[in-house]
Amino acid sequence: MKILLASSEVHPYSKTGGLADMVGALAKTLAGFGHRVGLVTPLYAGVRERFPKIKKLDWEIELPLGTRQETAEVWTLAINARLTIYFIRHPDFYERKGLYQEGGKDYPDNAERFVFFSKCVAQLGRYLPWKPELIHVHDWQAALVPLFVRHQSLSDGWHHAPNTCLTIHNLAYQGNFPAAAFDLTNLPAGYFNPKGVEFYGALNCLKAGIVFSDIITTVSPRYAREIMTGQFGCGLEGVLQQRRESVFGILNGVDYSEWRTTRNPFLDHAFSVRSLNRKTRQKLALQKELGLPVNAAIPLFSTITRLADQKGVDILLGALEEMLVNRMQFVLLGSGSSYFESAYRDLAMRCPDKVVARIGFDQGLSHRIEAGSDFFVMPSRYEPCGLNQMYSQRYGTVPIVRTTGGLDDSVVDESEDNNGATGIKFAEYSAPALAKSIRRALSIFEDTKTLLAYRVNGMNTDFSWKRTGEQYSRVYELALNQHS
């Protein structure tokens, strides 16, 4: 199969979140299966300096953007014989301090930046000499591509145009812009209506992808069901219900070449499912690093998160206020809302022997926290997929999660399988419900046989990209049988 992927961020070239990790890993996996894969992404500031093997193609893309013409260069990096990265170079649009915003504010020309990017993706899809059969776009920044492909195939002589697939990573981010932004597409006005890209009088990029793509995927099976509801549909539940038969949920995979417990440069002590006593050494090293009392008998809870309402950090604060009277420790690594940063710092100051709050991000420390903790807490309000609950299981750390999205799909509670449990689940979004789950965790910690069973079950669970890639390959086959 010949597949062209498109994403506004791709690890290791650019990243603000899990989107970059997912697309980078999917591209490598598909190429490993023997598919011909191209991946299109903007060329952001600093990328050429960090990856000097990137080469400029003798190919300039000149396209209309509303009333003016814009020109971009195409740069490439051949990863191997089956995988090529295509970078769209437009310095005015992409060579900035941030990818989407600065100082917490979106760039005012994001509509221009990503309408143009989507046009460039469609142009590559049409004129690349290896002729992609399918274009797979990710999130709102590339979601206009299926419409550009559809329009050109119907009215601009693009015969045998590729089929299209859209992946929704987080429905809350839709790319909504004033109606005037539709002019940037240079498409006929007939597309700007409630059955097309119009959404309450505005241009909605993600809606365009939902309406015009052949196949739609989300990053977990449960999230695919949730976004059909008023609670999680963010106003697009009706549009998604109309495409119900074309929506598939596929759980993201984990890159086990990075998230591993042996030969991991970030860990002080290697361990495995057959040498779990060494995990205790990693815990003691982590306690020492963080300045906590070094004692294997004290259960250590942790979270690594954005400090945002979506992540449940408000109910976590409430639960900790109730539960810290117990013999336990807690560490947080993350950043975000200044209110929550201050609240967790304050908690750490009041309970210095029990709580550590590291504001910011540290890749090495994130590995050591995952590996050295006994329990990892993810009480999200909603979670399209989530990855840390899967990292935790590989590291023998028991996740405590809310039954939403990918958290529900990837963690097994004892109520679902007494012998196969990998974590603790709770349903109600409240501090008391989370506190009750922490009490369960404390009980499990005291029962060494049960704790060992949870750890072994989690470490033996397969969240590999091979499994995820096979599911995408099957969905692509379905897309190729669709008619644009």
Sign for the pseudo-dihedral over CA of 236, 115, 145, 384: negative
Q: Are residues 375 and 300 in contact, defined by beta-carbon separation less than 8 angstroms? A: yes
Burial class from Cβ neighbours inside 10 Å (0-12, 13-18, 19+) for residue 8 reads buried
Instruction: Give the pLDDT confidence score for residue 484 in this predicted structure.
Output: 44
Sign for the pseudo-dihedral over CA of 122, 128, 131, 132: negative
Low-confidence ranges of the chain (pLDDT < 70): 483-484
Looking at this protein, which amino acid is placed at residue 236? Answer: L
Instruction: Cis check for the bond before 12: say yes or no (omega within 30 of 0).
Output: yes
| E strands in 191-299 | 198-199, 202-204, 215-218, 247-249
Sign for the pseudo-dihedral over CA of 30, 34, 40, 46: positive
Domain residue limits, the chain: 2-253+466-480, 277-463
Looking at this protein, which amino acid is placed at residue 163? Answer: N
Instruction: Give the pLDDT confidence score for residue 472 in this predicted structure.
Output: 97
Q: Are residues 310 and 316 in contact, defined by beta-carbon separation less than 8 angstroms? A: no
Give the residue among 236, 268, 261, 123 at the shortest CA–CA distance from 170: 236
Helices 448-459 and 431-446: angle between axes, nearest 10 degrees: 110
Q: Which two tokens stand for residue 5?
A: 């992927």
Instruction: Give the pLDDT confidence score for residue 483 in this predicted structure.
Output: 56
Give the residue among 402, 403, 410 at the shortest CA–CA distance from 457: 410
Q: Which two tokens stand for residue 159?
A: 């015969």
Looking at this protein, which amino acid is placed at residue 274? Answer: R
CA gap 123, 136 in Å, rounded: 14
Give yes or no on whether 2-253+466-480 and 277-463 have one common fold.
yes
Instruction: Give the pLDDT confidence score for residue 104 in this predicted structure.
Output: 81
Q: Which two tokens stand for residue 1?
A: 């199969």
Sign for the pseudo-dihedral over CA of 233, 239, 245, 251: negative
Q: Where are the alpha helices (DSSP H) in 236-332?
A: 237-242, 277-290, 313-323
Give the residue among 365, 393, 367, 389 at the shortest CA–CA distance from 378: 389
277-463 fold? Rossmann fold (3.40.50)
CATH of 2-253+466-480, one of 3.20.10.10, 3.40.50.2000, 3.30.300.30, 3.30.1600.10: 3.40.50.2000
What percent of the chain has pLDDT above 70? 100
